[in-house]
Amino acid sequence: MHRSSDTIYEEWLVLKCQDGDRGALEELVVRWQPRLTRHAMRLTGRPEAAHDVMQEAWLAIVRGIGRLKDPSGFRAWSYRIVGNKCADWIRQRVRHRGLEHGLAMMAPNHEPTHDEERDETSILHEALDQLPLDHRVVLSMHYLDEMCVAEISRSLGVPAGTIKSRLHHARNRLKQALERMKQ
């Protein structure tokens, strides 16, 4: 497996964090905050929720980084923490507002536009919003965050075969949604 200089640098930052280097932790936060926040946004569908979740996730990351045995596993480990914190947030909202309202909160934030001159990006976002959450998550982790199947599997705590299946079905459903939108 080819490791980029960025990957090696991030592994070094993890090791420095484990040694108590605050500067390395700050650099790790700067490098990972945007990616992890996008993941939290995809899972919660709410910017304010993603912000709250990320605060809790970083606390958990800072507290647990010393126990991370393999610095190369930071990416999958941190995504899993964010996913767990998002699941906690969703459960809390469902419990407080009832199942129907909680499910509505997980729906996409925006209504599809019906303008004739939509750009390809907005069409793609609209099609993605039509997919189930688990499909949106694996597609974005794979294509936007450039994670391999094994990393997604470790991040979500789901077998690799399930991830492959979800990716396959998600691609098909996305293709169908895009075709319906062209009609």
| pLDDT tens-digit series, residues 69-88 | 999 999 999 999 998 898 88
* pLDDT bracket for residue 35 (50, 70, 90): very high
- Tokens 């992890």 locate to 36
pLDDT exceeds 80 at position 2: no
Tokens standing for 67? 């126990």
pLDDT exceeds 90 at position 129: no
pLDDT exceeds 60 at position 114: no
What are the structural domain ranges in the chain?
Answer: 1-107, 109-183
Residues in CB range of 46: below 8 A, 6 or more apart: 105, 109
132 Ramachandran zone, left/alpha/beta (phi>0; psi -120 to 50)? beta
For domain 1-107, give the CATH number. 1.10.1740.10
User: How far are the Cα atoms of 138, 142, 145, 173 from residue 169, in angstroms, in the given order?
Assistant: 10, 14, 19, 6
End-to-end CA distance of the chain: 43
What number of other Cβ atoms are within 10 A of residue 157's Cβ? 10
Q: Is 87 within 8 Å of 102 (Cβ atoms)?
A: no
For domain 109-183, give the CATH number. 1.10.10.10
Q: Is 174 within 8 Å of 127 (Cβ atoms)?
A: yes
The distance between the two most distant Cα atoms of the chain, rounded to a whole number of Å, is 58
